[in-house]
Amino acid sequence: GAGVSQSPSNKVTEKGKDVELRCDPISGHTALYWYRQSLGQGLEFLIYFQGNSAPDKSGLPSDRFSAERTGGSVSTLTIQRTQQEDSAVYLCASSLVGGSRGEQYFGPGTRLTVT
Amino acid sequence: EDQVTQSPEALRLQEGESSSLNCSYTVSGLRGLFWYRQDPGKGPEFLFTLYSAGEEKEKERLKATLTKKESFLHITAPKPEDSATYLCAVHPYNQGGKLIFGQGTELSVKP
């Protein structure tokens, strides 16, 4: 079946612009996660959705970052007034169930470059 | 503080030369430990989940084991196509769905 898809695959933007990154999870997966992977860094958790609610937003680095999920499916991560330190690969993952024992399946990522 | 440390950072093997990758962790309580494989330019690919000390899982040339403080990913008679970065992650209690990842081990297998 289809895996997690993300768009765009690459995004180059100028400092100060807003960007939107999209994630389509595996059909039927109730939980959705956003992570960030910077050069030389491990994967860093950003936010977790269970259905359309976000019980854990603890990883969002600043109030410039926000995310929403609609219809228990597609999610959008928005970064406002982008900064150079926002350059990274943004990865989305989904799991059949949230919390305890759901294996997370990742998409290919969106590579964001802020110039 | 929950933490995951992987070693070595990089490992070069000859085809057929077996070895092990280490993942040491410190968590207040472990719901599960995950192993992923990541190829350049791609998202992590799920390999294994381990839930309790003593548990082992195998897939082709890979075997993952778990103790109370660390996990090993054993690779037997590796092939060049096993070259990738291997990521370890822990799922702590009271952290919702959050996984905490190690920095990864970059494995290169030469023919």
DSSP letters for B37-91 = EE-TTS--EEEEEE-STT-EEEETTEEEEE-SSEEEEEE-S--GGG-EEEEEEEE
Quick one: DSSP state of residue A28?
T
Which pair of structure tokens corresponds to residue B75?
A: 């690779």
**Set of chain B residues whose Cβ sits within 8 Å of the Cβ of A5:** none
Q: Which helix (H) or strand (E) holds A106?
A: strand A105-106
CB-based contact B98 A48, cutoff 8 Å:
yes
Report the DSSP pairing between strands B70-75 and B100-101. Answer: unpaired
Q: Do A108 and B43 touch (CB under 8 A)?
A: yes
Asked if A101 lies within 8 A of B102 by C-beta distance, the reply is no
Contact by Cβ (8 Å): A75, A5: no
Other beta carbons within 10 Å of B61:
14
The string of pLDDT tens digits covering residues B2-29 is 899 999 999 999 999 999 999 999 998 8
Tell me the average pLDDT across B70-96: 94
Q: Which CATH superfamily is domain B1-28+42-89 in?
A: Immunoglobulins (2.60.40.10)
Separation between Cα atoms, residue A77 and residue A93, nearest integer Å: 13
A53-103 tens-digit pLDDT:
998 899 999 999 999 999 989 999 999 999 999 999 999 999 987 655 668
Determine contact: A91 vs chain B, CB below 8 A.
Answer: yes
- Which candidate from A33, A42, A43 shows the least CB-CB separation from B97? A33
Mean pLDDT for all residues in chain B:
94
Span A28-96: which CATH code?
Answer: 2.60.40.10
- pLDDT, one tens digit per residue, over A19-45 is 999 999 999 999 999 999 998 778 999
| A14 touches A31 (CB < 8 A) | no
The candidate with the shortest Cα–Cα distance to B33, out of B22, B48, B21, B44, is B48
Mind listing the pLDDT tens digit for each residue in B55-70? Answer: 999 999 999 999 999 9
Per-residue pLDDT, B72: 98
Yes or no, beta carbons of A4 and B31 under 8 Å apart: no
Mean pLDDT of A103-109: 93
Decide if A106 and B103 are in contact by the 8 Å CB cutoff. no
The alpha carbon of residue B25 is apart from the nearest alpha carbon of chain A, in Å, by 14
The stretch B72-97 carries a mean pLDDT of: 93
Query: For chain B, what percent of residues have pLDDT higher than 70?
Result: 100
Q: Are strands B70-75 and B84-92 parallel, antiparallel or unpaired?
A: unpaired
Q: Where are the domains of chain B?
A: 1-28+42-89
Mean pLDDT along residues B42-56: 94
Question: What pLDDT is attached to residue A41?
Answer: 79
Cβ distance B97 to A50 less than 8 Å, yes or no, reads yes
In the beta sheet, which residues pair with residue B71?
B23, B66
Q: Which residues in B lie closer than 8 A to residue A100 (C-beta atoms)?
A: 31-32, 91
